Structure 1
Amino acid sequence: MKKLMTMVLLAVLATGANAQEKKDSAKSNKPVFTTIKENKITSIKDQNRSGTCWAYSTLSFFESEILKKTGKTYDLSEMFVASKDYMDRAILTVRMHGDSQFSQGGSAYDVYYVLKNYGICPEEAMAAPGSMTGDSLANFNEFFSVMEPYVDAVARNKAKKISSQWKVGLQGILDAYLGKCPESFKYEGKTYTPKTFAESLGLNFDDYVTITSYTHHPFWTQFAVEVQDNWRWPLSWNIPMDDMMRIIDNAVENGYTVAWGGDVSEEGFTRKGLGIAYDTKKVQSLTGSDAARWLRLTPAKKSEKFDSLGVNAPEIVPTQEMRQERFDNWELTDDHGMLIYGVAKDQNGKEYYMVKNSWGEYGDYKGTWYMTKAFIAANTMDFMVNKNAIPKDIRKKMGI
């Protein structure tokens, strides 16, 4: 009995030691970030239950542009942008007899277009997001369940001729859920219209370009990126991947932010605040999971194995060919808009972009995501940047 008790005690101690070893290993793999460069941004916001990341991220981009140029902090209205943009998108959908997608999503160019053509107002000049329906934040569930069938009914109407009254009805829906866009308002003692307010912000709308990187169009030319939410079909500069990344690095280094759009549906984009371009095959090997066993794991178990490796998780090396293949086979999708505003490194010296999200102060880093350069290179759809942030040799090739 004494011998048996001794064996049990040793087993317990061994198990405890093993558990402690795993705990210590996991702790040592947890990222410890050191900031290399951090540019000024405005406050973290929460898009809540609305597909308006494009509005939040791009207005945040323009707020940072204003902050850099003038030192003034603004809180611009996402719901103003949404109201103007959804009306324009509905008009196009009707014009195309429904053969154009009407949805919540959008692009950085949508915000640019609204600011340039309709103006903007501060957050305080419109109803607060969600307030029209008694919510504390934006919630588009009921809103779009009303608006989508309305637009579809007009767009697919069998009449030989339709009136323009449908626009009046749609404006009523927009106003009921988002609040009315003001024709004029007071801000810091002055009266503005949305257009005069936009003109007062100090932005030069000729300064902004969008960048992408694919091989199905020639490099150093412009084309409209073929995704549904790019419905205005603006032209983006097509730049080789390495130069695309140089633009982001140069922008951040010189005090600019970047309005980024890309794919966050990958396993490496965690809810804790990380974006890592996992090399899944190597992760399988390191965690002792062969391909067959890996496929049987639940998403939660896979996430647990990824998290256990932390900063030591192996990453893919993105290539131009990989980007194109993933775009063509629908793996690389246009999921989310965010704001790149800084660079940090972990304890191993690997560099990450500091990226502002619009999910409130969520995750381990209170609304900031740390996304590796490999993740950004692999998953960028396109981004908007101030042309003055682009390296001179690249601008020369672009002819701007």
Structure 2
Amino acid sequence: MKKQYLILFCLSCMLMANAQNQPSQKGTFKFYEPGYYQNSILKGIEKFETAQEPLKQAGTFKLDPAGLNIPTDKSAFKSIRHLPPVSQGNTNTCWSYSATSMLESEIFRLTRQEVKLSEMFTVYCEYIERAEQYISTRGKINIGEGSEMNAVIKVMKKYGALPYSSFSGLLPGQEFQSHEKMFNEVRAFLDGLKARNAWDEASAVSTVKSIMHHYMGVPPATVTIQGKEYSPREYLTGILRINPDDYIDVLSYMQQPYWKQVSFDVPDNWWGDDSYYNIPLDDYMKILKKSLKAGITVSIAGDVSEAGFLAREANAAVVPAFDIPSSAIDENARQFRFSNGTTTDDHGLHVVGYLEKDGVTWYLVKDSGAGSRTGGIEKNINFGYYFFHEDYVKLKMMTFLVNKEVMKDLLPKFN
């Protein structure tokens, strides 16, 4: 027995000595390029599955622009001072971009300052407003990214404004705005409050802000101009020097009385604003043209889903004769399309110029959406702009936001 223990002891000593003579080893982190699994197996599976389910693409019925006498270059238009077009990215915030752009032009016209404002500060504040009203109405308001152009005026009156340089709403390294995930989180959170009957406003607003901070960053409490700090409201009144009360929304539809301030009955008017100045269509078109000829731009909203909306084909919007002849476009045709849902207020834009060509007025329209950017800035000389035929505006553009000075002759008719 002792002999066996002695043998085991000797073997152990030999193993230990051998281990001590082995070179030391260590592990390390390795970063591998995609290998056979990714490059061959997964791609092969994807190729097979794609072949089994061919892409089905539905065609979009559009007017053939061949032979149409459409402007081809924005330089032909009499243009009013405005800042270059800015993309709204993957957001439904055209209402903020269009009205903000109009106010930038107004700031230059009135104060000779060229200032790029933050569209996203307005969007941030509008989410707060929406959350507060969602709580106060016990979840009865429409929750969406969309709003109306006069929401920018509403927000400015309460919260003020910020320059783009102080709050872009973009995270470091982010090129385009993208609010899909943020909006889905906000909506899910508010829906959850409604399901639980949990109506604590302070807590709800705090959480909505927290969600926005994650995706947009935190807007500053102050902005420094020439060594002096200003709150957003002080910046609006002391630096920008524009009065939000000077801007009104003009509407033209038959379902409510003309020469009255009325509500615009669309989901994006989620707070039920009833301050729209409803005027006959002929006056509507005259005021639009009068404003531009006076050097005052307008932000405008309406429908951009028609066969004559030739975004990719010509950066233009016209009314095809097969839809309705020009001579038949009147308030009835306009109301008919709004009532049956073929006209909506799905996009807001900024009208920055006009061209009178062959007896027809065309409008130069600055855009924040993707459609006007077809081909990229290198290939599209009209990148970020549309040319709207006056018939398209007359039939499909429902409202515009403008300085009330161009309405001064008509305002006494309202009572």
Is 1:136 paired with 2:143?
A: no
**Number of positions where the alignment pairs a residue of Structure 1 with one of Structure 2:** 339
Instruction: Indicate the residue corresponding to 2:281 in structure 1.
Output: 241
Query: What's the counterpart of residue 287 of structure 1?
Result: none
Aligned partner of 1:147 in structure 2 is 186
Secondary structure of the equivalent of 1:261? Answer: strand
Query: How many angstroms does 1:28 deviate by?
Result: 7.7
What is residue 5 of structure 1 aligned with on the other side?
none
**Is 2:190 the partner of 1:174?**
no
Task: Pick one of 165, 174, 199 that aligns with 1:124.
Answer: 165
Distance 1:202 1:140, change over 3 A: same
2:322 maps to which residue? 280
Q: Distance in 2 between matches of 1:176 and 1:145?
A: 13
CA distance in 2, matches of 1:263, 1:26: 23
Q: Which residue of 1 aligns with 2:127?
A: 86
d(CA) in 2 for partners of 1:89 and 1:195?
20
Is residue 2:412 matched to residue 1:396?
Answer: yes
Contact 1:129 1:136 in 2 (8 A): no
Partner of residue 334, structure 1: 345
1:162: how far off?
4.0
Q: Deviations over 1:195-219 (max 9, x none)?
A: 1001121212231111111122111
Equivalent position SS for 1:68: helix
SS of the aligned residue for 2:109 comes to helix
Conserved in 1, the CA contact under 8 Å of 2:135 and 2:201? no
**CA–CA distance in 2 between the matches of 1:157 and 1:270?**
47
C-alpha separation between the residues in 1 aligned to 2:216 and 2:327?
43
**1:59-114, CA deviations, whole angstroms, 9 ceiling, x for partnerless residues?**
10111110100111111111111111011112212322322111100111110011
Higher relative contact order (CA closer than 8 Å, sequence separation 6+): 1
1:225 pairs with 2:261: no
- Distance in 1, matches of 2:206 and 2:70, equals 55
**Distance apart, 1:141 and its partner CA:** 1.6
Q: Partners of 1:172 and 1:281 in 2: how far apart?
A: 48
The residue type equivalent to 2:234 in the other structure is T
In the alignment, the residues of structure 2 paired with residue 398 and residue 355 of structure 1 have an alpha-carbon distance, to the nearest angstrom, of 29
Q: Alpha-carbon deviation of 1:29?
A: 4.8
Cα offset, 1:135, TM superposition: 2.5
Residue ranges of structure 2 left out of the alignment (5+ in a row): 1-64, 375-379
**CA RMSD, Structure 1 to Structure 2 (Å):** 2.2
User: Aligned-pair distance for 1:332?
Assistant: 1.2
8 Å contact 2:132–2:201 — kept in the other structure? no
Task: List aligned pairs for 1:243-282, cutoff 5 A.
Answer: 243-271=283-311, 272-280=314-322
* 1:166 maps to amino acid: A
Give the direction of change, closer, same or farther, for the CA distance of 1:281–1:172 in structure 2 (3 Å limit).
closer
CA shift digits 1:148-200 (9 cap, x unpaired): 111111133235x6463222111100111111121112134331111100112
Contact preservation (8 Å) 1:250, 1:391:
no
Following superposition, the deviation at residue 116 of structure 1 comes to: 1.0
Query: Is contact 2:71–2:387 with CA below 8 Å preserved after alignment?
Result: no
- Name the CA shift for 1:151/1:28 in 2 (closer, same or farther; >3 Å): closer
Determine whether 1:370 maps to 2:370: no
Mapped to 1, the partners of 2:338 and 2:295 lie a distance apart of 31
Deviations 1:329-349 (A, max 9, x none): 111101001011111144x44
Secondary structure in structure 2 of the residue aligned to 1:125:
coil
Name structure 1 gaps, 5 residues minimum. Answer: 1-24, 283-313
Which structure has the larger Rg over C-alpha atoms?
A: 2
Report the CA distance shift for 1:162/1:359 in structure 2 as closer, same or farther (over 3 A).
closer
What SS does structure 1 have at the residue aligned with 2:373? coil
| Partner SS state of residue 123, structure 1 | coil
Under a length normalisation based on structure 1, what TM-score does the superposition of the two structures give? 0.79
SS in 2 for 1:327: helix
Paired with 1:28 and 1:164, the residues of 2 have a C-alpha distance of 57
2:7 counterpart residue number: none
- Counterpart of 2:362 in structure 1 is 352
- Cα distance in 1 between the residues matched to 2:130 and 2:147: 10
Question: Could you tell me whether the CA contact under 8 Å between 1:129 and 1:137 is conserved in 2?
Answer: no
Do the aligned partners of residues 349 and 84 (structure 1) sit closer, same or farther apart at CA in structure 2, a change above 3 Å counting?
Answer: same
Q: 2:29 maps to which residue?
A: none
1:113 aligns with 2:154: yes
Cα deviations across residues 297-334 of structure 1 (Å, max 9, x unaligned)? xxxxxxxxxxxxxxxxx656421111111111111101
Structure 2 distance, partners of 1:324, 1:249, is: 21
Q: Which amino acid aligns with 1:370?
A: F
The whole-number CA distance in structure 1 between the counterparts of 2:123 and 2:72 is: 38
Check 1:188–1:50 CA distance in 2 against 1; reply closer, same or farther (3 A cut): farther
Letter paired with 1:236: Y
